[in-house]
Amino acid sequence: MAAEGHAPTAGEYITHHLQHWQKNFAFQDVKQTNIVDFGVFNFDSLLYTVVLGAIACFFLWRAARKAHAGVPGRFQAAVEILVEMVDNQAKALIHNESSRKLVGPLALTVFVWIFFMNFMDMLPVDWLPKLWGNYVEATGHDPHHAYMRVVPTADLSTTLGMSTFVLLMCIFYNIKIKGLGGWGHELIAAPFGDHWALWPFNFLMQMIEFVAKTVSHGMRLFGNMFAGELVFMLIALMGGGWALSGTGIGLAIGHVVAGTIWTLFHILVIVLQAFIFMMLTLIYLGQAHDAH
């Protein structure tokens, strides 16, 4: 985390925790003559996203397998409430029943998946990074260069990737519901009116709307989770600065009090952000079904 021989400063501590475990994916072609470079990936975000996505799918699959017609248990009741809430929102925003058979489960999966990714922020800040550092050190490498970020939604590439997928779904349903010609006409005929002189302005406004919705969709989730992660790091620094002195004991008490308050508040944040992302997904897909 810092150079050998001294404890990390506050800046070094935060900088270290904000670094991603990155992997460069490059492969040689079949003839072994050229290297195909796919770029640098935030491997920690990719790893946790896939693992938590699998856990979310298992959670929903398990709920479906355990469901029965009798008096539900607490787990089944909680899942039924969640499913009913998402289904009601989907019915209110998407009136095409055929589309709703796909969009409803998609929205439910998005909500549970993002909740699990957000919930990683509730783990102690140094827990998984410290374990990873110990493993790297045990394998003979420098633990100060062992980076690990465990909250995938605090990575902009993750949230923008999800919002871009929503954009692709919107394009798919625009074409499926309205036809390629109908959607193409809508792109140049709205919002200012169907006059040839307004077509360029209409098309420009439509492109700006698509880009703005996609970027804001991903940025909103990223901004809230990144800020929450940073606050937990600052609270952790308070605990790391305690000592047997008046100021040190005050830092220790402040660490416990601030950590407890922020954790309780952040529980609301992680649920709310998952709900907002799900709702915006339904709203944007619902707009793809509506004609101007």
23 strand-pairing partners: 41
22-25: which pairs have CB atoms within 8 A and are 24 or more residues apart? 22/147
Alpha-carbon gap, residue 229 to 124, rounded angstroms: 10
Note if 98 is an active site residue: no
The strand pairing partners of 36, in sequence order, are: 27
129 vs 151: CA distance, rounded Å: 11
- State the catalytic residue, choosing from 99, 118, 163, 224: 224
What is the C-alpha radius of gyration for the chain, rounded to an integer number of angstroms? 24
Beta bridge partners of 41: 23
Is residue 34 among the annotated active site residues? no
Strand ranges inside the chain, DSSP E: 22-28, 35-42
Q: Of the listed 62, 74, 220, 245, which one is catalytic?
A: 220
Query: Do the beta carbons of residue 273 and residue 117 sit within 8 Å?
Result: no
**Maximum distance among all Cα pairs of the chain, rounded to whole angstroms:** 77
CA angle centred on 74, ends 71 and 80, rounded to 5°: 75
| Distance, C-alpha 52 to centroid of its chain | 11
Structure tokens at 177: 């519901």
Is 224 catalytic? The answer is yes
The secondary structure of 6-49 as a DSSP string is SPPPHHHHHHHHT---EEEEEEE-TTSS-EEEEEEEEHHHHHHH
Supply 110's token pair: 């998005």
Residues identified as active-site? 216, 220, 224
